[in-house]
Structure 1
Amino acid sequence: MSLLQLLGGEVEKTKLQKLLFLYSQRKQKPEYEFVPYKYGCYSYSASADLKTMIKKEYLLNKENGYVKNDEKDYIKLLKPADKKLLVNTVITYGEMNNDALIQHTYINFPYFAINSTIAEQVLNEKFFKRIVEAKPKQKKKTLFTIGYEGISLENYLNKLVKNNIKLLIDVRKNPLSMKFGFSKTLLKKYCENLGIEYLHIPEVGIDSSKRRKLENQEDYDLLFEDYKNTTLEKTKDNQNIILNLVNKYNRVALTCFEADICQCHRLPLSESIGEIQHNLEIKHI
């Protein structure tokens, strides 16, 4: 809201994302993180917050952008360091139009332009080559595992992109989450927007009723022993499906909630799949 205020209360949607990105790049702990989307740097979380502010009528959603819809002075509510940084960002980049901002971010932050559909049109050969070189190129056949506990949606998605993962397999029994972006429908959408396919295989998940009273590592170890003796024994077909997908896509990730791999069933699951094909590389990210 302070950024809109500094821009005179109105800003184009693409320009807002680019300015917010440039502001965030200057902060040690930014409020928003970004992914390489079809027009460069983009924050799903910021977009969701903007939609909420429109619903609450703090903003008006116009065809060409957003309009501040109240008289409140948000700038005076900022911490001095944030205010200084935001003002400097607007002074430096606020007069640039959309095309200039797109070029600037593509040239200076080429990773965030790797999925751009317009990069070749807006950049000369030299700078476009930088974007091509910034694309992750790992091809070694690997089964990854990843949890989303404690990280933002954008941080999570960037881990997938930077490891050149082609398919995300959701191994939660119930793919629902109170955390923004991690319920099945949204996660599938956000992955596919970045060229990552999504598949849900609930059969290899653990029923929530079995996950109660997990107070220490010993409790988790007992849970996973039961998981190995029951679910993993009954789902050999599903595990072979996952292995076949790894052989097809080369770069596949299993995902669940827990950050600590020792407290998530994706560890025994990946190990079980690794026992089927002994030379399979497994990485936990």
Structure 2
Amino acid sequence: MFYRRKIILSLIDLLGGEVEKLRFQKLLFLYAMRKQNPEYDFVPYKFGCYSYSANADMIAMIKKEQIAESDKLFLKIDQTEYFNTLKPLDQTLLSEIVEDYGSMSSSTLIKHTYLNFPFFATKSTIVHDVLPGALYDRVEKEIPKADTISLFTIGYEGVSLEKYLIKLVRNNVKLLVDVRRNPLSMKFGFSKTLLKRYCNSLDIEYIHIPEVGIASENRQQLNDQKDYDVLFKNYCKTTIKETTDAQKRILELLVKHRRIALTCFEAEPCQCHRSHLASAISNLPNFDYPLIHL
């Protein structure tokens, strides 16, 4: 079993074997905020902090009959006690979370997370009810407001779905342009259908432009930067020259949406074709905007 799922099952055990669905995400979030490298990351969502990855794990454990659910509750039905198999630090942190917040009502818990972690309340549909009047000011200050037309690029190698999306949200990106030839990934959340769904849930539009990508068969045996340089030299001689219309379309999308990001896999721009594509777009007539690699 994945270690991160043991964290969830142990948390529910410490709460008496069941937890309200709304409280579950908040308690797991508070646990994550006390860890340097938590098992789950979070995004601002319609009821505050939310982890798509944790939700996916809950669905998986329900299918495996480790957890059951009702309209409002998650119930642990796996009889194994996982708490003693956790690292000592995680045992301590989970125990502290349950001691500090375990008896707190849902409404109080929501208010606590909104007040202490206001960025994660910026997408909430209930924030004005939870934090009326002047209390809302601290959330208002956290809402990304940058509006300068900017072209970003971003890779998802080595980061969780939530950390990736947070970068987009904090930079007020309005449109994600997927420039992979084949928008499939073994990594959770990064295949086309799911990535589009998660972007849309955070008010970020998504579009796939495969013709500017590199075919998978051309991406084999990339062992060092020299191999990448050869690949991109060929890419610039062929695909870049053959996709001028697509590049112009991306520029039009930039002007329309003001802040867009080109995305592919690699973390380092120098090892991804998106940097060369972005450079080609920046050399088009009338391009006079910042180019930023996230």
Q: Same fold (TM over 0.5)?
A: yes
Looking at structure 2, the residues matched to 60 and 120 of structure 1 have their Cα atoms a distance apart, in angstroms, of 33
> Which segments of structure 1 move beyond 2 Å, counting only runs of 4 or more?
none
Looking at structure 1, the residues matched to 239 and 78 of structure 2 have their Cα atoms a distance apart, in angstroms, of 55
Equivalent position of 1:177 in the other structure: 185
Identity within the alignment, %: 56
Paired letter, 1:19: L
* Deviation string, structure 1 residues 157-216 (Cα, Å, up to 9, x no partner): 000000000000000000000000000000000000001000000010011111112111
Looking at structure 1, the residues matched to 269 and 101 of structure 2 have their Cα atoms a distance apart, in angstroms, of 42
Tell me the TM-score normalized by structure 1: 0.98
User: Of 270, 278, 292, which aligns to 1:283?
Assistant: 292
Q: Secondary structure at the match of 2:39?
A: coil
Paired letter, 2:28: L
Q: Does 1:236 align with 2:247?
A: no
Q: Secondary structure at the match of 2:283?
A: helix
Q: Does 1:99 align with 2:99?
A: no
Equivalent position of 2:257 in the other structure: 249
Looking at structure 1, the residues matched to 180 and 86 of structure 2 have their Cα atoms a distance apart, in angstroms, of 40
Paired letter, 1:198: Y
Tell me the TM-score normalized by structure 2: 0.95
Equivalent position of 1:206 in the other structure: 214
* Deviation string, structure 1 residues 75-131 (Cα, Å, up to 9, x no partner): 211222211111111010011111111111001100000000000011121221211
Looking at structure 2, the residues matched to 213 and 74 of structure 1 have their Cα atoms a distance apart, in angstroms, of 42
Paired letter, 2:194: L
Looking at structure 1, the residues matched to 14 and 271 of structure 2 have their Cα atoms a distance apart, in angstroms, of 46
Please state how far the C-alpha of 1:70 moved relative to its aligned partner.
2.3
User: Of 129, 152, 156, which aligns to 2:164?
Assistant: 156
The aligned runs of 1:109-120 (5 Å cut-off) are: 109-120=117-128
User: Of 220, 223, 227, which aligns to 1:215?
Assistant: 223
Looking at structure 2, the residues matched to 166 and 65 of structure 1 have their Cα atoms a distance apart, in angstroms, of 35
User: Of 270, 273, 290, which aligns to 1:265?
Assistant: 273
Paired letter, 2:249: I
Paired letter, 2:33: Q
Paired letter, 2:186: M
Please state how far the C-alpha of 1:278 moved relative to its aligned partner.
4.2
Looking at structure 1, the residues matched to 31 and 287 of structure 2 have their Cα atoms a distance apart, in angstroms, of 47
CA-atom RMSD, angstroms?
0.8
Looking at structure 2, the residues matched to 226 and 88 of structure 1 have their Cα atoms a distance apart, in angstroms, of 56
* Deviation string, structure 1 residues 24-71 (Cα, Å, up to 9, x no partner): 101111111100001000000000011111111110021111101022
Q: Does 1:129 align with 2:126?
A: no
Q: Secondary structure at the match of 1:134?
A: coil
Q: Secondary structure at the match of 1:144?
A: strand
Which range moved further: 46-55 or 272-281? Answer: 272-281
Paired letter, 2:148: K
Equivalent position of 1:139 in the other structure: 147
Paired letter, 2:167: K
**Unaligned residue ranges in structure 2 (runs of 5+):** 1-8
Q: Secondary structure at the match of 1:233?
A: helix
Q: Does 1:194 align with 2:198?
A: no
* Deviation string, structure 1 residues 110-158 (Cα, Å, up to 9, x no partner): 0000000000011121221211111011111110000000000000000
Aligned residues: 285
Please state how far the C-alpha of 1:280 moved relative to its aligned partner.
2.1
